[in-house]
Copies of this chain bind each other. A is one copy, B any other.
Amino acid sequence: MCQLLALSCAEPTDVSFSLTGFAARGGLTDHHVDGWGVAFYEDRACRVFVDEKPAYQSPVAEFLKSYPIKSRNVVAHIRKATQGGARVENCHPFMRELRGQQWVFAHNGDLHALGEHSEPGPYAPVGSTDSEEAFCFIMNRLHAYFATHADADVDDIDALFDVIEQATRTLNPFGIFNFVLSNGKAQFAFCSTRLSYVIRHWPFSSARLVDGDLSVDFAERGTQADRTAVIATTPLTDEVWTTCQPGDLLMFRSGALLRRTHVPVPAEVIARSKYALSELSAIPA
């Protein structure tokens, strides 16, 4: 299985603290060694850095520590391959453009082949992962929505949420489907079996990484305008994280949780997850 990280920030934020703890899981404190990637939104632009090497020994990861990019929306992923080899084209996040906006997607889980259920449309996988196939499914659903709703507004994130919710209902029975998805305006996150988040806001306190001997006192840096939501497969810090329930589909913007809805997760998906419900309470706080 893989690990997910996403950040939604009210102000452009240097996310190297969270990335440092997260990258350590790519082979150092955990076994996710088949590549990694991170996407940074900078206004309309989105830069994706991926590498098929383990994150903790990736030159690209090392470079990004010394060249922190400030961003309001970040999606990162470290990979333990279940389908598709350790190749660059199989590294998440994947990116596609829709109506002049870049969308990125990262997945933790394992889906059966969609086969004839794949959605017709202009988006197709470049690599050989179930994850990119699912991403293209969602993108083709979004494309179909705009094709059939001439007056649809690409910035109406509530309408986008509704389309993503329907796509998630369709894909959910195919397997474990934790994901983060962003268009640079909002972060959409789905907990199929395991996902947590924490929201940092004024007045800030300090946080210590679970995966490394590093603390940051956000109180020294943060202002009242700052607000950051950190979404991750498991908590990255010793802060009080909220554990999502299987089926939670969430939408964050500017560091705030705006919507939450429930998409039922089939019992057999939860049963075959290594991260079953019964284990969720064992996550370190």
Q: Which residues of A contact B (CB under 8 A)?
A: 42-45, 47-48, 50, 59-60, 63, 66-67, 87-89, 91, 96-102, 121-127, 143
Contacts and interface: CB of A to CB of B under 8 A. Distances in A.
Contacts of A123: 97
A136 to B, nearest CB: 9
Contacts of A67: 59-60, 63
Contacts of A96: 97
9 contacts: A43-B88, A43-B89, A44-B127, A45-B91, A47-B88, A48-B48, A96-B97, A99-B124, A122-B143
Contacts of A98: 122
Q: Count identical subunits in the complex.
A: 2
Most buried by B among A42, A43, A89, A122: A122
A137 to B, nearest CB: 14
Contacts of A59: 63, 66-67
Contacts of A66: 59
A229 to B, nearest CB: 23
Given A47-B50, A122-B122, 6 more contacts: A43-B87, A45-B88, A45-B126, A59-B67, A96-B97, A99-B124
A63 B61 CA distance: 11
A212 to B, nearest CB: 23
Nearest to A121: B122
Nearest to A123: B97
A59 B59 CA distance: 13
B126 A89 contact: no
Contacts of A45: 50, 87-89, 91, 126-127
